[in-house]
Amino acid sequence: MNEIDKLLNDYFEGLTSIEEEKRLKQYFESDRVKPEHRMYKTLFAAFSQEREWTSPPARLPRESKRKPFNLKLWIPLSGAVAACGLLLFFTTPFSRFQKPDYVVIVNGRHITNAREARCYADRMFFEAEKEMKESFRPVIRARQITQNMDADKIFEGVHKSITDRQTQEK
């Protein structure tokens, strides 16, 4: 039994390796196929022909630029948002309705912050002082005019100047 007969026997028993089968294919594709083997030539030719069958081009949908919905990311994220919402809901309303410990009324305004109350009070005092000064200015001026227009002082001055001249003439 020659090598090809042995390979063919093994082939039909399903015992040949890929390499041995390649040798068989090469043999049956060649011009030196023995007459007793010719009937198998078409079998190997058919396998070669089937190897030429190609698939149609695959049609893929366009890849969306938008990332697919990632459930693993969204579950903890939505949980965190819900927790923050609940925290705000339970903390903010209570603090809003609670009475503050410190309340000062400055110029009719309710202030709960001590620092703010002091600043506001200082500003109000400053403005009041300024207003008072401006409102008393005409009175001060009138007093000055009254003092300047005193008749005794005027006559005393005139008398003094006359006496000074008489003294000089003598």
The residues of the shown chain that bind another protein, judged by CB under 8 A, are 11-15, 18, 21-22, 39-40, 42-43, 45-47, 49-51, 53-56, 58-61, 63, 68
Closer residue to another protein in complex, CB, 75/158 = 75
Q: How far is the CB of 100 from another protein (least distance, A)?
A: 56
Q: How far apart are CA 127 and CA 138, in angstroms?
A: 19
Closer residue to another protein in complex, CB, 10/104 = 10
Alpha-helical segments (H) within 32-97: 41-51, 71-97
Pairing type for strands 104-106 and 109-111 reads: antiparallel
Closer residue to another protein in complex, CB, 24/117 = 24
Q: How far is the CB of 79 from another protein (least distance, A)?
A: 23
E-state strands within the chain:
104-106, 109-111
Q: How far is the CB of 94 from another protein (least distance, A)?
A: 46
Q: What is the amino acid identity at position 167?
A: T
Report the DSSP beta bridge partners of residue 106. Answer: 109
Q: Comparing C-alpha atoms, which of 122, 102, 124, 121 is closest to residue 112?
A: 102
How many CB atoms are closer than 10 A to CB 23? Answer: 14
Q: How far is the CB of 54 from another protein (least distance, A)?
A: 5
